[in-house]
Structure 1
Amino acid sequence: MGRNKLARFRQNEENKNVVQPGKEIYENIQGGWQDFFGNDQPITVELACGRGEFTVGLGRSHSGRNFIGVDIKGSRIWKGSTMAIAEKLLNVAFLRAQIEQLHTFFAEGEIAELWITFPDPRPKDRDEKRRLTSQRFLDMYETLVAKGGLIHFKTDNTGLYQYTKEILADRPNTRILKDTSDFYASEWKEDHLGIKTRYEKIFSEKGETIKYICFTLSSA
């Protein structure tokens, strides 16, 4: 393991805005995120946040909400964590965990809003259950996201976009509020305040259109 990666791991241990294995809070954070932030603001979660640019951007733009980026790679969330600390963004935190285990870190209805941003498309049929918009994951989100809470999905992958639309169409009580195969040519492009993930920038520069769906899994 490289020296830089080891240094980042040590920094994550010190950074108070990182919840990860080895810290006491990691074992009992479920249902306690507002206590963690020290306020009662609604919680927005970004899945597979990578280096955290999008999570930090949301926190920077919306001071009245709390934001948590989730990723398993400690060397990635180090970037967003240190950025948030440097900018004194007390409403931004990071959770180092497997997304499959999200239900062990959040209580029922604790998440007000969820972002699924540019997940691995997992194109092979045998990997369907690992797609973050599969029925398996949607069942979990339906429990953790408050009733009527918005779920945002963005991807450059046409196959995953079409798959997600089909899956959502099969679920009762699901409402698709926004749907476009070309986000930056849509009426909603200003809603995201120009905040982009690293991968979104890469895909956009390559000329890929960004697909976007905003939906709820249960009625309020």
Structure 2
Amino acid sequence: MRLRHKPWAADKLKAYPKYVTQNPQDFKGEWQKRFAKDQPIHIEVGSGKGKFIVEMAKAHPNINYIAIELQTSVAVSILELQLDAQLENLQIINAHGGDLNHFFSDGEVSRVYLNFSDPWPKARHSKRRLTSPKFLDQYQTILKLDGDIHFKTDNMSLFQYSLASMSQYGFVFRQVWLDLHQSDFEGNIQTEYEEKFSAKGHPIYRLEAYYPPKN
């Protein structure tokens, strides 16, 4: 993603503490207090400009959503969508998604969305992939026992890596799609990247996975 620097973005994010927190560790274990209703929490790690998570929050008012985006100039785009929508079930974290254990208590999250994450194609960067064991450790910890991960990408190599990484870690796949847009999947909400890549004819890969409880 080529970022256009927005020097005013940080001040705008700080001006709306109702919707944005830059100190998410302050709410660890208490995220429900930031929402109008006590409902299951779904998070998206790397929300980009926010099209996916804002539309999800509109479509599912019975779920509380948290967008996590590091880049200030991108996170402000989520805020702008939120200011238009005024959704009571959407919060924004402007911070690094690699610190989830500091932001959420054990079992506080019901679902993690990973959409079109950076593939980090070089082998020496594999630990930075959001489906690497380092990140899977965090998802397993913050997810409820029946919680799950929903992952989408157009990058076949990243998808193959993710299938292997998650399987070796112990996650179980509920379902796997090798060409989502040619399937009978209903209710798909596209991200900005998804619209771009699918328009070019790229297949979209998707999976749903959970970590089975230990007996």
For this structure pair, what is the TM-score category when the shorter chain's length is used for normalisation?
A: over 0.9
Partners of 2:8 and 2:95 in 1: CA distance: 19
Partners of 1:72 and 1:13 in 2: CA distance: 14
Q: How does 1:38-187 map to 2 (within 5 A)?
A: 38-172=36-170, 174-187=171-184
Partners of 1:125 and 1:99 in 2: CA distance: 21
Q: CA deviation at 1:102?
A: 1.3
Give 2:208's match in structure 1, choosing from 188, 191, 214.
214
Question: What percent identity do the matched residue pairs reach?
Answer: 33
CA deviations 1:113-135 (Å, max 9, x no partner) are 11000000011111111000011
Q: Is the 8 A contact 2:69 2:97 kept in 1?
A: yes
Give the residue type in structure 1 aligned to 2:173. I
Give the residue type in structure 2 aligned to 1:11. K
Aligned residues: 210
Partners of 1:37 and 1:69 in 2: CA distance: 13
Q: CA deviation at 1:38?
A: 3.6
Give the residue type in structure 1 aligned to 2:176. D
Task: Compare 4-13 and 125-134 and name the one that shifted more.
Answer: 4-13
Give the residue type in structure 2 aligned to 1:90. E
Partners of 2:167 and 2:98 in 1: CA distance: 23
Alignment partner, residue 32 of structure 1? 30
Report SS of the residue matched to 1:191. Answer: coil
Q: CA deviation at 1:86?
A: 1.6
Give the residue type in structure 2 aligned to 1:217. Y
Give the residue type in structure 2 aligned to 1:186. S
Q: Is the 8 A contact 1:142 1:218 kept in 2?
A: no
Alignment partner, residue 20 of structure 1? 22
Q: CA deviation at 1:29?
A: 1.1
Alignment partner, residue 9 of structure 2? 8
Q: Is the 8 A contact 1:81 1:93 kept in 2?
A: no
CA deviations 1:99-121 (Å, max 9, x no partner) are 11111111111111110000000
Give the TM-score, by structure 1 length.
0.91
CA deviations 1:130-151 (Å, max 9, x no partner) are 0000111111100011112121
Q: Is the 8 A contact 2:36 2:88 kept in 1?
A: no
Runs of at least 4 residues off by over 2 Å: none
Q: What root-mean-square deviation, in Å, do the aligned CA atoms of Structure 1 and Structure 2 show? A: 1.6
Where do 5+ consecutive residues of structure 1 fail to align? none
CA deviations 1:140-192 (Å, max 9, x no partner) are 100011112121000000001111111122133x220110110011222x132
